[in-house]
Structures are given as C-alpha cells and as structure tokens.
Amino acid sequence: MTDLAATLSPTKVQESASAAAANGAGLRMQRRHWVGLGLLAIGVFIAYAPAIRGGFLWDDNDHVTRPELRTWHGLYRIWFDVGATPQYYPLLHGAFWVEYQLWGNSTTGYHLVNILLHVIAAWLVFLILRQLAVPGGMLAAAIFALHPIQVESVAWITELKNTQSAVFYLAAMLMYLRFDQNRSRLCYALALGLFVLGLLSKTVTATLPAALLVIFWWQRGKLSWKNDALPLAPLFLLGAAAGMLTAWVERTLIGASGKEFQFTLVERCLIAGRVVWFYFCKLLWPSDLTFIYPRWHISQGVWWQYLFPIAALAAVVLLWIARKKSRAPLAGILFFGGTLFPVLGFFNVYPFQYSFVADHFVYLASLGVITLVSGGIALILQRYHLWCRPAGDGLCLMLLALLGCLTWRQAATYADVETLYRTTLARNPDCWLVHNNLGNILQDAGESKEAIRHYREALRSKSDYALAHNNLGTALQQNGRLAEAVAQFQAAINADPAFAEAHVNWGDALQRLGEIDSAMQHYQRALQIKPDLSWAHYSLGNALQSVGRLEEAIVQFRAAVRLQPGFPQACNNWGNALTALSRLDEAVAQYQNALRFKPNYAEAEVNWGNALRNHGRIDEAVKHYQEALRIKPDCAEAYSNWGSALKQAGRVDEAIAHYQRAVQIKPDYAEAHVNWGNALQGQGRFDEAVGHFQQALRINPDFVLAHYNLGVALESLNRFKEAIEEFREAVRLRPDFVLAQDGVRRVETHIRPMTEPAKP
C-alpha cells in the first residue's frame, strides 16, 4: 500500500500547489493572449473601415486579373508566361485570379482579404516572438497591425503581394524556428515549402534566411556552420535565384532602366543611408505619410548627404560595441536594414523613377524596429512593476488607440483614387506622376480644363514626360484645339520614339483635320512598333472607311476585335462598313456583338436602325431609333435618322419635327440641317432649304453633300451661277461625285446662252 503520510507530506503538498498555481497562471495568460488576438483583429478591421469600400487605385487594374487572363488558359499563362503579368509573382496573380472568379470587380472582397492577411501576419508575429521569449510580443504584434505606415500595404489592393508574402514569410520563420529546436524534418520541409510560396508572392521573402541567421546570433552570440548556416543554404540559393529573376524582370520588362536609374556606387550608398533613416524616423514618428514622397536630388558633390550613411554606420558600430551588454538592439537594426536591402538603392526598382521611398517597402522590415520598441516598453513597465497590470495595460492601450486613429485617418485617404491623389499633391505638390494621373481622372469625368492644368503641372516638373504630353494632347483634342494637340503628340514621340499610342492619337487628330493620308501613316507606324495594338487597327480602319476603302477597313476592324475581344466600337464600325457594302446580315451580326459587349450602346442601335432603313425595313429601323432614345434621351443622331425613316415612309411633316428636335439638341449638327433641307426641298420650300444647307456649310465648309444639295436648291430657284459654284465645289472636294458632275453640265446649258457672245 502507498504510504499516505508520505503522499500528503508538507513538501509534496507545497509542490503540488505551486504546480497548480503555475498551471492556472499559464491558462490565464493563454486566455489573455486569445482575447488579445481577437480584440486585435476587431481593432484592425475598425481602423481600416474607411478603405474597405474603396475603389481601384493607380495600377490596381493591371494587377487584378485582366480580361485576357481570366480563363483557365489565362491561369496557365500567369504561371508559365513571364511577361503575362506586371511582375512574375505567379502565386500572387493566381490569388488575384481566384478572387476575380469569386467577386469580379467588386473591390470590397479584395480589401477584406488584404485586411485578413494583415491580421494573420500580426498573429504570426506574436507566435514567433512568444517562441523566442521576446518581451512585449503581443504589444509588438499590435503595433505592427495598427501602425499607420502599413496602410499603403493593406488598403492598396495591389499590395496583396505584401500581405500574402508576409504570411508565408512569417509562417516559414515560425516553422524554421521550431526546426531549430527539434531538428524535425517535417518542420524543415514545411519551412522550405512556405518559403517558396513566399518567393512566388514577392521576392522580399528572399531575405528570410539572412534574418534567421541574425536571430540565431542574437540567441547564441555566435553562429555554427553546421547547425545554423548549412541548413539555410537551400533557402539562400532559392532566394538568390528569385532575386535575379525579379531584377531582370524589373529592368527588361517593367522598365527600371534609363537615365533615372544611372547612379554611381557612391550615390547608391548615399541613397541607402538616407533611405534607412527615413524609414526609421517614419516608424518612430509617423507624420505626413504620403502615397508618393518627393524624389531626392542625389549628388556625391553635396557634403551633407554623406551624413546619412556615416550616421548609419556609426550606429551599427556603437551597437556592436554594446553587444556584450545586449545583442538585441543590434539584432533588431540588422533585421531592419537587411530586410530593406533590396530597396535601399543598390538594385533598380521601377518606383525609383519618381521616389526612392514608399511606405509599402518597409512592411516586413518594420518588425525589426517595432520589436525593439515594444520590447523596450515591456522592460520599462516590468522594472516599475506595471507590466500586465491595469496601469501598464492602460498606457499600452492608449498608444495602440493613438496608432489606430492615425491608421483610420490614413486609410480614409485610400477611399477613392481622386482623394488619394489630391492628398498626395497636398504633401508633394511637384509630383508629376500624380498630376498626370489626376488629370486622367478629371478628363474621364469631363473636366478637361482642370485636366489640362494638371498635365501642364506634370510637364512643369518633368518636361520630357512623354505620357503627360500625350495625355495633354488628348485633352486638347477633346476641346477642339487640334493644332495644339498635334504639337503635344509630336513632343511625346520626341521624348519616346517608341510611343505607339501617341502615334495613334496623332493620327486621330490629323484625321479630324482632314489629313487622312498623314493620319494613316501614323497608324501604320504605331503598328510597326506594336503590332498587337488594337486601337491602332481600329483607328486605321476608321481612316480607310472614311475614304471608301471598305474592304481594307473591315480587315482592320476584324484585327482589332481579334486582339481585344469585346471591343464594341470596332464591332460597331465594322457593321457600318458592311452596311455600306449592303451586306445587311453580316452588319446586323456586328451590331449585335457591339451591344452584347456594351448593352446600352445608343450609337450601335442607331446604326443598326440605319442598316435596316437602307433596306426598306422602316418599322424595324424605328424600333432601334426608339431604343437608342430610351438609352440616351438626348441622342440627336437617333432623332435625325428617325426623321429620315419617316421621310422615306412619306411622313414628311413628322420627319421635319424630328430634324428640328435633333438640331435643338445639337445645334452644330450639320447632317441634321442637310436632312431637314432635303425634306423642305421635297415640299418645294426651296428658300427655307437653302438656309439649312448654308447653315450646314457654316458648321462644316467641306460637307460635300451640303454643297451638292445647296446647288440643287439654287438650281430650282434659277440661281444658276450660284448653283454651278456649289456643284463645282462638291466636285473639287470629291472628284468622283457623278451627280455633282452632272449638275455642272446641266446648269452650264442654262448659263452659256447668257454668257456666250452672239455669232455673226
């Protein structure tokens, strides 16, 4: 039997009580952690609430799966065609592909996923710091989650690459730290697999093995080749390969090359020193956070710029000297600087053309500074016996509440793209990129004068900015200032001779000026530069159609639709060319395609009606004109063509009423004036008809049919000299116009007897 007295001895009872107390404290602490992580998640979602319904920003449309990649074949291209996506991060773009299948272009889903991944990353930070026994782990996770410098990474849909890669990076770190403790092959395999997934999401994950070495040095004070370095060798090799591929993509496919990236080694060191201090200060004092910061002028001839790298090196030296007292500060700074290394300026990164710094670059690196700060706060509170007590908790909550409020305010600037750009310009007035992008938004909204002002501001800051020249040209073109527009397109091509889109826009301006041959030369040049530019095929088709080369025009429209499936304007104009060739069934098929891709396309309804009217199917045509007016009640073209259908049906008075309505809506509608004049002429009201033909010619002096019809009306009024002038002008504008030639000959028989001298 068991000795009951021994079992219940005071020593045993005391040990059991101590163990029970420890277990109870552990359970309470575990519950505290779970409650803390839950509250942290709620706090993050509240802090980012202003951005949850925010729209697409800047390059989101390039990252959210484009139409040509939304199929299963598109998913294949995402993985195996390096140039199919803006950057070769196949797991990232695969995630975007899945998201598009789930919620399409609804931005809320994308924002919620980013926020959720950010929360998971914060939870992983806590688990890692708890495993490393770093004080203040929960505080560090909360600061990471609520710090306003992270808003750019979380509220900007494109930066899914940051939140997604961070989850894989931190999960890989957690698994590898467990491997370091138990040498489990399963933990190693999981760490390696998660690391690869991180690399396929964003290459910054490549810094993980170096970060692990820093952690091992902090733990042990020295590194072992066999136990520490050798197991990490595969991760270093994979990271180096991914880094080289990304550098190649940045340089050759994205365009991180040219004069904006030409720096000496000394200048790159100057950039690196300044970048480190910039991020360090923004983490400690996150004021004036901006979507795009001013780009510094770097010069190795300016003495004070050397202070940044010198100060950074001095700080590292001092921390090295102090390592015997504590290795933690140096480890934190090494993690911070090492994780930043890819964006310190030693490698070309595309955003460097407009700024050397961006908040999203510091997303993971911030953990080095945040862990130091939170650990320091925890140690200070422990010294004064305030840690895990109401007073200490209150101070920490006040800090987190302040950070949460700053994040909420910063997230509000990401609610829509115009707010983001205007906020950026308030803090960086010379940002040429944002001036240009804001100009695009204003131009799309019909505020072309304000758009022109922003394009000019962009060019004031960067005079050789080809895109701004091109966009300024399109805005001027919309305002009818064609000569000025042509000058801007020429400036765009001077700045970038391979700018195919500027050639297309230049051609469009020339086409409106009536210089069709020159316009076609620019379209052809654009297609030499970029053969798959659908808009160039479309514009070339329009030019060919305008000179009656209909079969050639159809070839171009077909190419435009092949290259850009769902190109409604190309389908519509293709239908117009087929209508002119009297190929009604084929034309109707194209109008149906145009309306399938763009259901409320009033112009396609009008043209469909015209095709039917040309074949005498008046009642069907009228239905399409009525549908066009349902879509667009002020569609002058629908009223004018409906009038022509009524005139064709013999209902001339009703037709005139429709022409009148068309001109009321669109006073400079020359075609409606001609149609109105024709109807009046049919009623024998020649004087009134002459007035409408003359009005059409005041609007468009080169309107051939207006000249011809005016000649007919004048002939009917026996104003033969004026009539022959109009017929001759019509022939001059269109030498193959047989009816005008007949008019000249016909009127000459009336003029000759009055002008030729009597024969003896």
Rounded average pLDDT per 10-residue block, the chain, 760 residues: 39 49 60 86 96 90 88 94 90 95 94 97 96 94 97 96 97 96 95 97 95 96 93 96 89 78 92 97 95 94 95 96 94 96 91 93 97 94 84 91 96 94 95 95 91 96 94 92 94 94 95 92 96 95 93 96 91 94 93 92 92 90 92 92 90 91 91 91 90 91 90 89 89 87 83 47
The string of pLDDT tens digits covering residues 142-187 is: 999 999 999 999 999 999 999 999 999 999 999 999 999 999 999 9
Tracing tokens 């609804």 back to the chain, one arrives at 106
The domain limits of the chain are 41-64+105-412, 601-667, 669-755
Q: How many residues does the chain have?
A: 760
What tokens appear for 702 in the block?
A: 């080169």
Q: Is the dihedral of CA 753, 756, 758, 760 positive or negative?
A: negative
Are 601-667 and 669-755 the same fold in CATH?
yes
190 vs 175: CA distance, rounded Å: 7
Which parts of 567-617 fold into alpha helices (H)?
A: 568-580, 584-597, 602-614
How far is the C-alpha of 273 from the C-alpha of 289, rounded, in Å? 20
Rounded distance, CA 35 to CA 415, Å? 30
DSSP code, position 253 = I
3-state secondary structure of 701: coil
Q: Would you state the pLDDT for residue 604?
A: 93
Structure tokens at 117: 């991944």
Q: For 603-643, write each residue's pLDDT tens digit.
A: 999 999 999 998 889 999 999 999 999 999 999 999 999 99
Residue 278, C-beta contacts closer than 8 angstroms, at least 6 positions apart? 357
Q: At 333, which amino acid appears?
A: I
Structure tokens at 106: 């609804």
E strand spans, 378-420:
none
C-alpha radius of gyration, the chain, whole number: 36
CATH topology of domain 669-755: 1.25.40
Tell the residue number behind the tokens 């996923």, with chain if given: 113
Q: Which amino acid is at 316?
A: V
Q: Report pLDDT for 758.
A: 38
Class of domain 601-667: mainly alpha
**Do residues 113 and 160 lie in contact, with contact meaning Cβ atoms separated by under 8 Å?**
yes
Question: Residue 391's pLDDT is what?
Answer: 86
First to last CA, the chain: 164
Q: Which two tokens stand for residue 466?
A: 């080809």
Amino acid at 526: A
Where helices occur in 615-719 by DSSP H, the ranges are: 618-631, 636-648, 652-665, 670-682, 686-699, 704-716
Q: Is 722 exposed, middle or buried (0-12, 13-18, 19+ CB in 10 A)?
A: middle
Amino acid identity for residue 608 in this structure: W
Q: Which residues contact 636 (CB under 8 A, 6 or more apart)?
A: 661, 662, 663, 665, 666, 669, 672
Reported pTM: 0.81
Nearest to 232 by CA among 209, 206, 261, 211: 209
CA distance readout (Å), 528 to 53, 96, 558 = 42, 33, 18
